[in-house]
């Protein structure tokens, strides 16, 4: 209904179909370019060491509960998340072994 109303308004204003199609194609190209830039930005976004100091609670919640990072386009954050969990796992095992050796 809104599309029909917009088309009628363009006809009332004597806007040619050629001009309308040209504008639509320009907007489609703009939207595609914006999508490409957004995807590249997402793929390179990462956690900074400052994030772990300033907003530790948000980072921990994001790492624990946001399982679709790679699917959502955050490839670098996904990789950092895997490494973080691996380091934490190693530290837990080493800590456990040290406690057992003290006994």
Read off the pLDDT of residues 63-87 as tens digits, 9 standing for 90 and up: 888 888 888 889 999 999 999 899 9
Instruction: Check residue 35 and give its pLDDT.
Output: 93
Question: What 3-state class would DSSP assign to 10?
Answer: helix
Instruction: Check residue 3 and give its pLDDT.
Output: 78
Count of CB atoms within 10 A of residue 15's CB?
Answer: 13
Instruction: Check residue 30 and give its pLDDT.
Output: 95
Instruction: Single out the residue of 94, 83, 96 nearest to residue 52, CA to CA.
Output: 83
Long-range contacts, 98-103 (Cβ 8 Å, 24+): none
User: Measured between alpha carbons, how far is 55 from 50 in angstroms, rounded to an integer?
Assistant: 8
Instruction: Single out the residue of 19, 1, 81 nearest to residue 46, CA to CA.
Output: 81
Instruction: Check residue 97 and give its pLDDT.
Output: 95
How far, rounded to the nearest angstrom, does the alpha carbon of residue 21 sit from its chain's CA centroid? 32
Which residues of the chain have a pLDDT value below 50?
Answer: none
Instruction: Check residue 87 and give its pLDDT.
Output: 93
| Cβ pair 4, 35 in contact under 8 A | no
| Domain coordinates in residue numbering, the chain | 1-44, 46-103
């Amino acid at each position: 209904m809104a599309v029909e109303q917009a088309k009628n308004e363009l006809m009332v204003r004597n806007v040619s179909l050629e001009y309308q199609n040209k504008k639509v194609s320009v907007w489609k190209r703009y939207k595609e370019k914006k999508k490409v830039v957004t995807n590249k930005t997402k793929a390179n976004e990462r956690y900074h060491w400052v994030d772990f100091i300033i907003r530790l609670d948000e980072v921990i919640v994001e790492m624990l509960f946001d399982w679709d990072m790679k699917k959502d386009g955050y490839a670098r954050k996904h990789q950092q998340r895997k490494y973080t969990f691996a380091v934490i796992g190693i530290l837990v095992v080493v800590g456990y072994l040290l406690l057992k050796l003290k006994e």
